[in-house]
Amino acid sequence: MAPGCLAHQVLETTLINLIGYVTFLEAFDRTGRVLNITVTRSDGKAPPLLCNYLTTPHMLVHCASLASCAIPGVFEAVELQAKGRDGRLEPYFKTGNWTWTDGGMQADLPKERLMELFNVNQFIVSQVSPLAPLSVPIDGTGLPWLEQMNNLLKCQLIGFLQGANKLWSGRLLRPGGFRGVDFILQDYEGTVTIRPSWGLREMSKFLSNFDQERVKQYTRDGERATWPHLELIRSLCEIEFCLDEVAAGLQQSIAVSRAAAAAASADTPGLRKSNSSMGGASAFTRGKLPSYIQLSAYDGDRPSDTPPASTQSGFPIGRSGSVDSKQGGRFSQLPGVASSASMLNLAALDTLDNDDSETMPPSMGMAPFQ
Amino acid sequence: MSSPMSSPLDQLVRVIVRLIKRAFIKFPQLALRFLEITFNPSGHLRQLALVLCVQISSFLLQRLRNQVRRGLLIPNKDERALDDATTYQQYKLCQQRIEAANPQTLRGMRNDEFFELMRQRASTYAKLQANGDEFGLMYHLRSELMRKQSGGAGYSRDGSTWLRKHRAARERIEEYQHQVCSALRYIASGVAPGSSRPAQRLAFINETRHAFGRTALLLSGGAAFGVKHMGVVSALQREGLLPRIIAGTSAGSIVAACVCSRKDDELRELLDLTGPTILQTFRFFGLRNSTPSASAADLERLAADTRAAAGVTPGGWSPADMEDNDGERNLLKASTVDWDLKRHLKRQQQGKTMLDNTVLKTTLKHL
């Protein structure tokens, strides 16, 4: 553990003030936004770890962020913490004694992992890394042929380095464990790349603190850099956002009608016996497979038959008294193991099961129907 | 007495020895030549030198051009107003005025085939929707809707993105996209005669969504410059274009974590810098303190105090809704002190006591 020149405790305090003691799963259940943070193991011998609510649900967000900020030589590498089953902090990796550093070393933009996990195929990148201009084509010089030549030369050199990177399992390019070449061998661009500008004068304040004026200035820089791309982004995302909106609305209406049906059948207990016999344990597992697809879970008024997210995840202590007794004592003590949403919307399939008319395949457009 | 004529065996040996000698002389040369062809060091070094020159000169050119554009030479009122705009509305108005002054055309883009395809599809959807043919709409949308449509002048695969950078092209694509959105809303509303059941419609929408793919916002690293991500997020959020999947690295991870742990109204507060403690908390860098470190006994005492006080002390502000959860928060605090203590003891065992008393200060600040 090489000490850095800056104290990571200061950064840690700031992060705790900004974020609080939240785990990835709690953050997702609260806001419905999926947070991803990349960290690299400090010996560099493992692939970068992308932390999010699917891969590391109980890790604390602030310490993942702290690890991700730990540029070698500036901040010290840190251990990752998790919120344990009893609500206390514990090391995330029980064995190995690993410490974690700057995620930007190996994967500044964790594109591949996001594609695998979340079906992402379009990336809006906000690129402020001072190293990015080394490998990204420069534009706006007014001489297109110069830019293209520059690009070709860079591609050739990077291609050569990529080949050399395979020699001797990568040790040729990292003499003495110095991993500077990792910065060049990365992809720094997305479908849309927003590049807030920074001048050489600002470089001198690369590691200095903020006053109000500077924060405002930087925020304005970021906004200004985004404006030219906004219409492009709107055009690229229009259909996707429309699909999201439509799906959320449909899920909402289905949940409401299901709740109404459940309320109606509560009067005639004989009819719904099979459903109610599933009891608390089934309610605990059903509808809790991990997903970011079911939007209706975040819309405040949830259907009455699904328990609220807060009882399932995150806050096991101090709530045990208030949890409804229906779920049984054992489950109410446990922290969440999955989010409150469901993959490809099992709730919708449920209504199919319960429907007494014909059984239809859930897929549309496969079988014609009358 | 030796014979003047050596035996054939002797001659053979001599030949072999000579060959081996030559091979030993030649081999290093050959190996060098081989390495030179493989690695081509002179070529790559020359390329490196050239790329450095080109990079620096294009960087300077870029700066120079920006300066010129900012109005040193060209007194263009609109372009200067573009730089002075403080809101996106102002910026958009200026942009529109500039575009009205020099209108863009689609000539030279060679995308007629692509636009024709878009137009045909849009008219098909409009016709099906007018006829109330829900199944037909679903059938067409399931097979035709995809992110990377063909298009663009070159053979580059992001041609569609390239094309959309031009406003004229964007407008023509928008006609198609509006039609698609209206068809999707029509299907979801279920007003079509003989419409399928809601669960089926949802399955259709979900499958289409999965096939279409999602957008993610990626925030790069960059130490202090990471604060500029706040502006990017702010601009996107104001226009309702903030993706739900956000990834951050290094400095970007701080902004990403702040955004993803806040609901919309709290996020607005953060981005407008109106939150109660935001500006005081923007303190990321502190020098390592070189004063003698806190003793383990101090920390032990502190930990004991905290454990005793757990359940009584309310703590600092935190964005998660822990307001009703003092017990849990205090337990977390107590275990944080425990954690620090363990870390400290571990360090001392390793004989590295470079840890300063900031640990103590930090923990005190929490409480």
- Inter-chain CB proximity B260 and A34 less than 8 Å: yes
Residue with the larger pLDDT of the pair A230 and A305 = A230
Report residue B324's pLDDT band, with 50, 70 and 90 as the boundaries.
Answer: very low
Q: Which of A114, A227, A257 sits opposite B247 (nearest CB)?
A: A114
Q: What's the pTM?
A: 0.75
CB contact residues (below 8 A), chain A span 16-35, against chain B: 16-22, 26-28, 30-35
Bridge partners (DSSP) listed for residue A23: A60
**Which pLDDT does position A310 carry in this prediction?**
38
Half-sphere exposure of B342 (CA within 13 A, CB side): 11
Rounded to 10°, the helix A346-354/A212-267 angle is: 10
Give the model confidence (pLDDT) of A308-359 as tens digits: 343 333 333 333 333 333 333 333 344 455 444 433 444 444 444 444 333 3
Q: Which of A121, A128, A364 sits opposite B222 (nearest CB)?
A: A128
**Tell me, what amino acid is at B164?**
R
Give the model confidence (pLDDT) of B190-212 as tens digits: 888 877 788 888 888 888 888 89
Mean pLDDT of the region B276-298: 52
**Which pLDDT does position A284 carry in this prediction?**
36
**Which pLDDT does position B181 carry in this prediction?**
95
**Which pLDDT does position A297 carry in this prediction?**
43
Neighbours of A261 (CB within 10 A): 15
**Which pLDDT does position B276 carry in this prediction?**
53
A71 contacts: CB under 8 Å, gap ≥ 6? A4, A101, A102, A104, B223, B250
- Inter-chain CB proximity B263 and A30 less than 8 Å: yes
Half-sphere exposure of A273 (CA within 13 A, CB side): 2
Report residue B253's pLDDT band, with 50, 70 and 90 as the boundaries.
Answer: very high
- Inter-chain CB proximity A69 and B257 less than 8 Å: no
Rounded to 10°, the helix B296-309/B358-366 angle is: 10
Residue with the larger pLDDT of the pair A238 and B69 = A238
Which residues of chain B neighbour A206 with C-beta distances below 8 Å?
223-225
Which residues of chain A neighbour B251 with C-beta distances below 8 Å?
69, 128
Residue with the larger pLDDT of the pair B367 and B265 = B265
Supply φ then ψ for residue A272, to 5 degrees.
-105, 30
**Which pLDDT does position A133 carry in this prediction?**
78
Q: Does A321 touch chain B (CB under 8 A)?
A: no
Residues in chain A: 370
Among A58-72, A331-345, B127-141, B329-343, the range scoring the smallest mean pLDDT is A331-345
- Average pLDDT over chain B reads 76
Report which of A79, A129, A13 is spatially closest to residue B280, judged by C-alpha positions.
Answer: A13
Sign of torsion over alpha carbons B352, B356, B358, B363: positive
| β-pairing verdict for B214-219 and A120-126 | parallel
**Which pLDDT does position B336 carry in this prediction?**
66
Q: Which of B88, B262, B336 sits opposite A31 (nearest CB)?
A: B262
CA distance B132 to B186: 9
Q: Within its chain, how far is the Cα of B80 from the centroid?
A: 30
B263 contacts: CB under 8 Å, gap ≥ 6? A30, A31
Which residues of chain A neighbour B143 with C-beta distances below 8 Å?
365
Which residues of chain B neighbour A30 with C-beta distances below 8 Å?
261, 263, 320-321
- Inter-chain CB proximity B284 and A210 less than 8 Å: yes
CB contact residues (below 8 A), chain A span 178-217, against chain B: 188, 190-192, 194, 196, 198, 202, 205-212, 214-216
**Which pLDDT does position A117 carry in this prediction?**
92
Decide: A256 and B184 in contact? Cβ < 8 Å. no
**Which pLDDT does position A355 carry in this prediction?**
41
| β-pairing verdict for A49-51 and A34-41 | antiparallel
Whether the pLDDT of residue B54 is over 60: the answer is yes
- Inter-chain CB proximity A318 and B288 less than 8 Å: no
Residue with the larger pLDDT of the pair A254 and A9 = A254
Report residue A274's pLDDT band, with 50, 70 and 90 as the boundaries.
Answer: very low
Give the model confidence (pLDDT) of B132-176 as tens digits: 888 889 889 988 888 876 655 556 555 577 778 888 888 888 999
- Inter-chain CB proximity B325 and A246 less than 8 Å: no
Mean pLDDT of the region A253-263: 88
Mean pLDDT of the region A177-199: 83
Residue with the larger pLDDT of the pair B281 and B314 = B281
CB pairs under 8 A between A and B: 512
